[in-house]
Amino acid sequence: MNKKLLRFTFQVAFRGISSFYLIKLQTMKIMIVDDHTDMRRMLKNLISFSDTELECVECKSGEEAISSYLSHKPNWVLMDIELKSTSGFDVTKEIYALDADAKVIIVTSYDTPTFRRKAKKLNVHGFVCKDKLSDLQQLLSSPSKK
45 φ/ψ angles, rounded to the nearest 5 degrees: -65, -40
Tell whether the model's pLDDT for residue 50 goes beyond 80.
no
Higher pLDDT among residues 76 and 15, named by residue: 76
> What pLDDT score was predicted for residue 142?
66
Cβ–Cβ < 8 Å for 57, 13? no
pLDDT tens sequence across 61-101 = 999 999 999 999 999 999 999 999 899 999 999 999 999 99
Cβ–Cβ < 8 Å for 11, 46? no
Q: What is the C-alpha end-to-end distance of the chain, expressed in Å?
A: 16
Which uninterrupted H or E stretch holds 31? strand 28-33
pLDDT band (50, 70, 90) for residue 22: very low
Instruction: Give the number of other CB atoms < 10 A from CB of residue 96.
Output: 16
pTM, two decimal places: 0.78
Cβ–Cβ < 8 Å for 146, 101? yes
Tell whether the model's pLDDT for residue 19 goes beyond 70.
no
- Average pLDDT on 17-22 reads 38
pLDDT tens sequence across 101-142 = 999 999 999 999 999 999 999 999 999 998 888 778 778 776
Tell whether the model's pLDDT for residue 12 goes beyond 50.
no
pLDDT band (50, 70, 90) for residue 144: low
The dotted CATH code for 29-141 is 3.40.50.2300
In sequence order, the β-bridge partners of residue 51 are none
> What pLDDT score was predicted for residue 145?
52
The dihedral sign for the CA sequence 63, 98, 92, 89: positive
Of 68, 49, 69, the C-alpha closest to 8 is 49
Residue 134 three-state SS: helix
> What pLDDT score was predicted for residue 133?
82
